[in-house]
Amino acid sequence: MTAYDGSAAPGGAKAAKTARRRRPGRFGAAVSVLLAAVLLFPGLVPNARFRAGSLVETFLPWLGVLAALLLVVGLARRSPLAVGAALLPVAAWLLLFAPAATGGASGDGARLSVVQHNVSDENPDPVGTARALAAPAPDLIAVEELTEEAAPSYRRALREAYPHHVAYGTVALWSRHPLLSDEPVDLRPSGVGDQWRRGLRTVVRTPHGDIAVYVVHLPSLRITAEGMRTQRRDESARLLGRRLERERAGRVLVVGDLNGTLDDRGLAPVTRRLGRPQGHFAFSWPERFPVARIDHVLGRSAAVVDVRTLPATGSDHLPVLARVDPRGG
């Protein structure tokens, strides 16, 4: 005797097919709502274990790819629920990132230009790199991972156009304008020796007034099977944040490789004391396929009105060119 299976009947098959369609629509809608929430409120992602919050914030713009995929899947399945829900993360992404995606700012009002570059301690062509950094004729050139062996090559290549220069450890600044004073900035995390020198402060006398300029290189982070390891980077960020809190100069620029994006909560001690720059995405790392901007020019009472990347050098980072309006921010 053959058991009766209602799904074998035309009506049962139709009902089963409809149920299968509904389930993906509901699942896709749930994922879309969650994605929109993460885009708008990334702080909801916990950071206690694996540094998941920092990981999401580092690649936050790339969540737009997932939003677009959810929309395409909803359209392919002809699910009004999935399509409508997918529009939520798409709208959230456009709200957050449309200006950068459509070309950034125009740079109107900029009176000062800054090039920032982690030149890499393994760079095989320091002379060519120095010339590339000077090519857009910026007012200031800040570099990190400057080795003792490569430093003379940079000094010779930049000496004529940039007569004012200061270096401390592996960070340095070249300027067209006079430097009034300089001092080291101690950003060493716990357990790191005196040889770790990756921060300096100087005052640049520009035609638009004096600006305190910090050149910094925060510790690297690592992405492992156990999540992101950011503890040392975060500790250095807190030290820099405390230093900025004590800073009494009217206008400030922080230039350097922060080893994190502006959305990463680990950099909050620094970023909450500075204005958010305008401009393109300007992803600067890694050089072959940039996915994040970890090289920054940030200002206080000096507005960074445009940021973009420059062509590759011998480094694993791309140089970043920023235009600054010293009157605002």
In a domain, 245, yes or no: yes
In a domain, 132, yes or no: yes
Do 196 and 244 have their domain in common? yes
- Alpha helices, H only, 41-143: 52-58, 63-76, 80-101, 126-134
In a domain, 69, yes or no: yes
- Alpha helices, H only, the chain: 10-40, 52-58, 63-76, 80-101, 126-134, 151-158, 231-246, 268-271
Task: Quick: pLDDT tens for 67-95.
Answer: 999 999 999 999 999 999 999 999 999 99
| pLDDT on residue 104 | 64
Residue 292 · residue 285 · CB < 8 Å = yes
Q: What is the mean pLDDT of the chain?
A: 91
pLDDT, greater one: 308 or 10 = 308
Do 31 and 62 have their domain in common? yes
Q: Can you give the C-alpha Rg of the chain in angstroms?
A: 25
Neighbours of 22 (CB within 10 A): 12
Final residue of a structural domain among 57, 78, 101:
101
In a domain, 79, yes or no: yes
Residue 86 · residue 28 · CB < 8 Å = yes
* Residue 9 to residues 2, 6, 21, 89, Cα–Cα distance (Å): 14, 6, 18, 40
In a domain, 65, yes or no: yes
| pLDDT on residue 48 | 81
* Residue 73 to residues 21, 26, 66, 312, Cα–Cα distance (Å): 12, 12, 10, 37
Report the half-sphere exposure of 224 (CA within 13 A, side-chain side).
8
Average pLDDT (281-289) is: 96
Q: Is the pLDDT of residue 19 over 60?
A: no
3-state SS track over 61-76? HHHHHHHHHHHHHHHH
- Our count of domains for the chain comes to 2
Helix axes 10-40, 80-101, angle to 10 degrees: 30
Task: Quick: pLDDT tens for 91-103.
Answer: 999 999 998 888 7
Nearest-10 Cα torsion for 248, 262, 97, 227 = -170
In a domain, 107, yes or no: no
Q: Residue with structure tokens 């156009």?
A: 161
Average pLDDT (2-21) is: 53
Q: Is the pLDDT of residue 263 over 60?
A: yes
Range of the domain at 192: 112-325
Q: Which of 25-29, 127-131, 309-313 has the lowest mean pLDDT?
A: 25-29
Do 249 and 186 have their domain in common? yes
Do 299 and 191 have their domain in common? yes
Q: Is the pLDDT of residue 16 over 60?
A: no
Residue 253 · residue 212 · CB < 8 Å = yes
Final residue of a structural domain among 80, 101, 122:
101
**CATH code of the domain in which 154 resides:** 3.60.10.10
Task: Quick: pLDDT tens for 207-229.
Answer: 999 999 999 999 998 777 666 78
Nearest-10 Cα torsion for 58, 140, 178, 164 = 110
Task: Quick: pLDDT tens for 152-169.
Answer: 999 999 999 999 999 999
| pLDDT on residue 25 | 80
Do 215 and 97 have their domain in common? no
| pLDDT on residue 169 | 97
Q: What percent of the chain has pLDDT over 90?
A: 82
In a domain, 1, yes or no: no
Classify strands 140-144 and 171-175 as parallel, antiparallel or unpaired: antiparallel
| pLDDT on residue 228 | 76
Do 220 and 119 have their domain in common? yes
Joined together, the tokens standing for residue 19 give 């149920």
Q: Is the pLDDT of residue 7 over 80?
A: no
Do 97 and 116 have their domain in common? no
Final residue of a structural domain among 101, 130, 156:
101
Do 137 and 66 have their domain in common? no
Q: Is the pLDDT of residue 106 over 90?
A: no
Spatial neighbors of 155 by CB under 8 A, at least 6 apart, are 165
CA pseudo-torsion sign 150, 168, 241, 300: negative
Do 51 and 191 have their domain in common? no
In a domain, 285, yes or no: yes
Q: Is the pLDDT of residue 11 over 70?
A: no
Do 318 and 180 have their domain in common? yes
Task: Quick: pLDDT tens for 107-147.
Answer: 666 789 999 999 999 999 999 999 999 999 999 999 999 99
Cα–Cα distance for residue pair 105/99, rounded to 1 Å? 8
Do 219 and 150 have their domain in common? yes
Q: Is the pLDDT of residue 319 over 60?
A: yes
Do 172 and 267 have their domain in common? yes
